Amino acid sequence: MAQLYRHYDKDGVLLYVGVSLHAVTRLVQHNDKGWFEDISTVKVQKFVDKNEAIIAEAEAIKKEKPKFNIAIPTLETTVNRDPVMRRVYKERGLASIIAREVGVTPSAVQQWKKVPPEHVMTLAPLLKLRPEEIRPDIFKKR
């Protein structure tokens, strides 16, 4: 079950909209954001289908214009990933570890459909995969 969450400040201003399987856990993961301390209310809407939640998130961002959302998610950017990126998306904390390793934000990692070629060699040991398992379209099997 997917959860669409909205973070509001004390004056009812919508700060952020997101989707997670665990909205409360995700709330804590936002503690590195400058606006985290401003959150006073969290509203959660449950969806049986994650794709429906992603579509609702995109609509909420367009219509409600939260203060701190940067990108509007699409099914293309969130669902159609290769198997390696699906693993990164599912394993809690892995996107943050990868982001630190390659010097980008966790949000940037979440937008990848595939591991960018320039990061394959760095991430292979971390993911415990060979380069050709990460990007078979680039690296030939040995």
Global pTM reads: 0.56
Other CB atoms closer than 10 Å to residue 139's CB: what's the count? 16
Q: What are phi and psi of 16, to 5 degrees?
A: -160, 145
Break the chain into its structural domains and give their ranges.
2-72, 81-134
For residue 75, the model assigns a pLDDT of 58
Rg (alpha carbons) of the chain, rounded to whole number: 17
Residues 135 and 85: their CA atoms lie apart, in Å, by 11
Residues 109 and 125: their CA atoms lie apart, in Å, by 17
User: Average pLDDT for consecutive 10-residue bins of the chain (142 residues)?
Assistant: 93 94 88 92 90 86 91 64 76 81 84 90 92 90 63
For residue 142, the model assigns a pLDDT of 60
**57 and 4 Cβ atoms separated by less than 8 Å:** yes
For residue 51, the model assigns a pLDDT of 73
Of 2.60.40, 3.30.1380, 3.30.70, 1.10.260, the CATH number of 81-134 is 1.10.260
| Helices and strands (H and E) in the chain: how many | 8, 3
Beta strands in the chain (DSSP E): 2-8, 14-20, 41-47
The 3-state DSSP class for residue 75 equals helix
CATH of domain 2-72: 3.40.1440.10
For residue 74, the model assigns a pLDDT of 64
